[in-house]
Structure 1
Amino acid sequence: MKSFVSYYKPYRGLFYFDMFCALVVSVVDLAFPQILNFLTDGLYTQDADVILRSLWIVAVSLVAMYVVRYGCQYFITTWGHVMGARMESDMRQDLFDQMQRLSFSYYDKNNTGDMMSRLVSDLFDISELAHHGPENIFISALKIIGSFVLLMTINVPMTLILLAVTIVMILFSLSKNKKMRAVFMDNRRKISNVNKQVQDSLAGIRVVKSFANEDIERRKFEHSNLEFLDSKQSSYKIMGTFQAGNNFFTGLLYTAVLVSGGFFIAGGALRVTDLAIYALYIGIFVAPIDVLINFTEQFQKGFAGFKRFLEIVRTEPEVRDKPGAQPLKNVVGNIKYSGVSFAYDEGTHVFRNIDVEIGAGRTIALVGPSGGGKTTFCSLLPRFYDVTAGSVSIDGQDVRDVTLKSLRSAIGIVQQDVYMFGGTIRDNIAYGKPGATDDEVVRAAKDANIHDFIMSLEDGYGTSVGERGVRLSGGQKQRIAIARVFLKNPRILILDEATSALDNESERHIQLSLEKLSQDRTTIVIAHRLSTIRNADEIIVMSADGIRERGTHEELLEKKGLYASYYNMQFEGLED
């Protein structure tokens, strides 16, 4: 609750005035029966002339009162919602910022569709709760307490009967409330599963269609969709019992008033006119109870959404700046892995006790079977994951002692699986250096041998790449990704099978560009095409058992070990 209330702080002025307007609305509504009582028992018992002379004062006063109520109601409806929308926006920003901070390990375990659900639909319900919650509770409490006090002034025994029925009504509501909380949380989980299924299916739509598996995807979606439907039906059944039960008790309230009123009138303890005023206050007493009953559904939805919101916001990133971390400055590029071990899950080690030293400006290549830990080895350098044991250092500084921003700014990465952001080709190249000039973007594209292709397009650098770069070939996307790194111009390069998606001719051009980029920079290359790493200063052969071999291309061939067997398989004995 403290976390929720903290989002009101920037809008305290709006909130307090909203509550003031709610107070005015409540006072006006409570005043009308009293005004009616005053007129029927006082003014309207006078002579006709007195009544007629006073009517214009009554009319002007009532109109003025309702003009004020109109203004207050307008503020509540308009600016109250604006306040809720602003709070929703703040929460969404905080949630997105937290998602940017979370480590790779979090995304390894959680689905994008679920996070989208928390970012969009959950926060909408929270916004409605933020606006209507305090306002509904405040107005309803004022009206219930105010009307109850005024009812006591009319007839105490009758009001106590009313209170007894109301207490039973509250106990019934509380019992149903517990069940509603559980079912609305289940609603959130089930709609999240629907979003997961949609995101998964649409992201892989080309694979779906290439295998003609549309029916399978439809059945998978139907399953999660029907689960959500079942959950919604359960919630509606509970809501039906809840609302119908409370309407029944509302009917009992009116019944109690009419029966007890008749009893007290017969005994001379109550006047008929008092019963009429009493009936008006009953309406004011019951209306906010109905509001609170209806608000319960909204509260449970918002409460469930806020709990899911906090689950992410309170998640501590596994990889973050340590207190007192300093920026990594004047990077030379000396890299050292000392006794490094790593495991994604406890007990499942990718490798143990790795010792590797890479001098500034040197190029090392990592080769070996898939699952041998090559990509993981590289991921430890920019701290996408932290080592389980040992240390990784750059220029003698442990990477855990420097700020993440400065560390990752010093490292350029070209991955096998290239991601293109929505937007233009220029936007995607400039991602390597936000604020880059057009000349810098063009120079980077030329270095990556993609400039001529871009200029052959109708819109040139302004050409849209489509979602995930769907309008570009694999090789074109790879070269744009390489252009990003040219533009970033880092001291350390990681090339994770950067030429794997290219045809032979493109690979030749790109290899020349990469060799140019690698000059005087420390470079780590992951490659399956051994032809691309012949000139590496050192080749390290990794497997599930750790480092198996290391040396230059010629030295490893002479050893006739694992590297030589890979090389012969690719270039000499492929057909055999």
Structure 2
Amino acid sequence: MENIKVKKVFDFSLLRRLFTFAGPYRRSFYWSMVMTVLLALISPVRPYLIQLTVDKYIANNWIQALINISLIQVGMLLVETAMRFLFTYLTNWLGQSVVKDLRLAVYKKVSHLNLAFFDKTPIGTLTTRTINDIEAINDIFSEGLISIIADVLMIVAILAMMFFQDWRLTLVSLSPFPVLILATYLFKESVNKSFYQVRNAVAALNAFVQEHITGMVVVQAFSGEKRESAKFKKINKEHRKANVDAIFAYSVFFPVVEIILAISLGLMVWYGANQVLNYQVTQGVMIAFIMYLNMLFRPLRVLADKFNTLQMGMVACERVFKLLDSDEYLPDHGTKSAANLKGAITFDNVSFAYKDNDYVLRNINFDVKPGDTVAIVGHTGSGKTTIISILNRLYDIQQGRILLDGVDIRDYKLASVRSRIGVVLQDVFLFAGSIYENMTLRNPNITREQVEAATKMIGMYEFISELPGGFDYAVMERGSTLSLGQRQLISFVRALLYNPAILVLDEATSSVDTESEMLIQHAIDKLISDRTAIVIAHRLSTISKADKIIVLDKGEIKEIGTHEELLKKEGFYFKLHSMQFKKASV
């Protein structure tokens, strides 16, 4: 799990890059800044109007003028309220708009990264980047930078008005401010540290819960409830401690601010009262200063918290841009279309490694004619599934060439070549949605009639028709309400609907019962007659009719031939066949 570390330096280059995403919404950004300036200018006006009311209109008993200035104050209050609403709405709208574009950019980036990236990056990390981190970036606009600028401008405007009114009274009122600045700094550092701890604790909780809910069947099967509960209790305790530390900082800081405000007001009243008695300060100025101080302390209470929010948003921003800058994707420089692919396959001295020079395939050479059925067999870890992965260009090879119809696979457009290869994987993944949506993958070009025809071809139509809602039956998460065989058959139909030139069955019958296997074999016999098929299976009985069998061992081809030819050689295939026959007879 990736921990968030406290950072001291504010990265302005990162902020500039973030604001490029606000480019399409620059009008809203400019208007929000205009609102910021106007609100800062309006803030000191109401206390000043009250000062005039007390010193001029009430003192001279000008009733009509008193009514007029009161109406002006009400109008000013309404205008300020409307402007604050508009400011809040604009900043939040701007933040959500940037978040929308960022989240789309991250999702597009993730969907185009190669599988090697996902092999080493936890799903929880990518989920956090796409959702939590980007939501934190929204706070930069709604509660961070623009809001901080607004508060600072308001503080400057209020201080300017106070010094303009009476600089001596202002200095006396602000004499406790050094204590407030120190308290604000200590609060910022404390909350900043605890905020990072809270985020890390939340990440730990999320990772633990996600992992253990997914693997709950293993936990319960091995009676591990108490052990795992003890681990969760420890993580949960750390989460509570991190939150309590943050709460403690808030609990200390806000009373300190109130005390400092009370001291400032007390000093102002003590000094101002003497000035009033000596006719050097008016009563209106005293009342205005009370309002100024309250307005001054209001943004100061939250300014440190907003700085922390801004910093956390920048940390999230850095992590998101790090993902966007990732170059771990397959190059797609091909220009040829695979629309008319016939299905000839050639592996020419192919070697492949998932990491560095740790090759899992070495010097693989074989040819497949269009329409042939080729079986690949071997022990677990021999490289069977890897061959399928590189054929579908989920990974790029380090050495050699893979040719489709005599053309290097890298010369084809990536999406085009993948659309002509249908794959039924051993681990079937079903999305939340209906059976129909899982079969078509929401492709609008596939009709209901085509789906029904495909299911009838492999004998699934009656089973689906009996489900509540038929083809609109809602598949639960990962298809948990369906059997392994049923999920496998749905995946099989999914591949058939795309009418591939090359059909790949990766352990397609390894998790199904005998009846389902018979259905699949029946469908295979019909479908592979006019297309190239590559079958990977542990059950050698399912591939005995293949035109060619390739035997792999530790990433190398040991034998190639038909079922009968390989049995006569009494080599690797013969040993595999004998072992399975012996197990079946026990």
TM-score, length of structure 1 as denominator length: 0.89
Equivalent pair of 2:549/2:563 in contact (CA under 8 Å): yes
User: Aligned in 2, Cα 1:335/1:2: closer, same or farther, shift over 3 Å?
Assistant: farther
Equivalent residue number for residue 201 of structure 1 = 212
Gaps of at least 5 residues in structure 2 are: 1-14
Distance in 2 separating the partners of 1:314 and 1:240: 41
Equivalent pair of 1:340/1:354 in contact (CA under 8 Å): yes
Equivalent pair of 1:87/1:130 in contact (CA under 8 Å): no
Distance in 2 separating the partners of 1:255 and 1:355: 90
17-26 vs 363-372, which moves further: 17-26
Equivalent pair of 1:125/1:301 in contact (CA under 8 Å): yes
**How far apart are residue 411 of structure 1 and its match?**
1.0
Q: 1:390 aligns with which of 395, 400, 404?
A: 400
Equivalent residue number for residue 428 of structure 2 = 418
User: Aligned in 2, Cα 1:546/1:66: closer, same or farther, shift over 3 Å?
Assistant: same
**SS in structure 2 opposite 1:420?**
coil
Query: 1:91-115: CA deviations, max 9, x gaps?
Result: 3333322322222222222222333
Equivalent residue number for residue 12 of structure 1 = 26
Q: 1:104 aligns with which of 110, 115, 119?
A: 115
User: Aligned in 2, Cα 1:187/1:106: closer, same or farther, shift over 3 Å?
Assistant: farther
**How far apart are residue 296 of structure 1 and its match?**
3.0
Distance in 1 separating the partners of 2:284 and 2:76: 24
User: Aligned in 2, Cα 1:392/1:512: closer, same or farther, shift over 3 Å?
Assistant: same
Amino acid at match of 2:397: V
Query: 1:211-247: CA deviations, max 9, x gaps?
Result: 4433344334333333333333344445556656656
Equivalent residue number for residue 359 of structure 2 = 349
Distance in 2 separating the partners of 1:342 and 1:186: 42
User: Aligned in 2, Cα 1:490/1:185: closer, same or farther, shift over 3 Å?
Assistant: farther
**SS in structure 2 opposite 1:484?**
helix
**How far apart are residue 289 of structure 1 and its match?**
1.6
Tell me, yes or no, if structure 1 residue 230 matches structure 2 residue 244.
no
**How far apart are residue 565 of structure 1 and its match?**
0.8
User: Aligned in 2, Cα 1:21/1:433: closer, same or farther, shift over 3 Å?
Assistant: closer
Distance in 2 separating the partners of 1:477 and 1:269: 88
Tell me, yes or no, if structure 1 residue 571 matches structure 2 residue 581.
yes
Q: 1:474 aligns with which of 484, 490, 501?
A: 484
Distance in 1 separating the partners of 2:270 and 2:349: 87
Equivalent residue number for residue 552 of structure 1 = 562
Distance in 2 separating the partners of 1:207 and 1:535: 39
Equivalent pair of 1:243/1:293 in contact (CA under 8 Å): no
User: Aligned in 2, Cα 1:392/1:177: closer, same or farther, shift over 3 Å?
Assistant: farther
1:492-571 counterparts in 2 under 5 A? 492-571=502-581
**SS in structure 2 opposite 1:380?**
helix
Equivalent pair of 1:343/1:350 in contact (CA under 8 Å): yes
Equivalent pair of 1:495/1:526 in contact (CA under 8 Å): yes
Amino acid at match of 1:199: Q
Equivalent residue number for residue 230 of structure 2 = 219
Distance in 2 separating the partners of 1:180 and 1:391: 57
**How far apart are residue 489 of structure 1 and its match?**
0.5
Distance in 1 separating the partners of 2:115 and 2:393: 10
Amino acid at match of 2:50: L
Equivalent residue number for residue 283 of structure 1 = 294
**SS in structure 1 opposite 2:512?**
coil
Equivalent pair of 2:133/2:317 in contact (CA under 8 Å): yes
Amino acid at match of 2:140: L
1:427-442 counterparts in 2 under 5 A? 427-431=437-441, 433-442=443-452
Distance in 2 separating the partners of 1:504 and 1:533: 15
Tell me, yes or no, if structure 1 residue 443 matches structure 2 residue 457.
no
1:147-226 counterparts in 2 under 5 A? 147-156=158-167, 159=170, 166=177, 169-170=180-181, 173-174=184-185, 177=188, 180-226=191-237
Equivalent pair of 1:184/1:304 in contact (CA under 8 Å): no
**How far apart are residue 487 of structure 1 and its match?**
0.5
TM-score, length of structure 2 as denominator length: 0.88
Q: 1:39 aligns with which of 32, 53, 57?
A: 53
**SS in structure 2 opposite 1:549?**
strand
Distance in 2 separating the partners of 1:480 and 1:179: 55
**How far apart are residue 31 of structure 1 and its match?**
0.2
User: Aligned in 2, Cα 1:399/1:84: closer, same or farther, shift over 3 Å?
Assistant: same
User: Aligned in 2, Cα 1:186/1:314: closer, same or farther, shift over 3 Å?
Assistant: farther
184-193 vs 449-458, which moves further: 184-193
**How far apart are residue 513 of structure 1 and its match?**
0.6
Amino acid at match of 2:34: F
Gaps of at least 5 residues in structure 1 are: none
1:106-145 counterparts in 2 under 5 A? 106-145=117-156
Q: 2:499 aligns with which of 475, 486, 489?
A: 489
Tell me, yes or no, if structure 1 residue 330 matches structure 2 residue 347.
no
Equivalent pair of 1:429/1:484 in contact (CA under 8 Å): yes
Amino acid at match of 1:131: S
Tell me, yes or no, if structure 1 residue 30 matches structure 2 residue 44.
yes
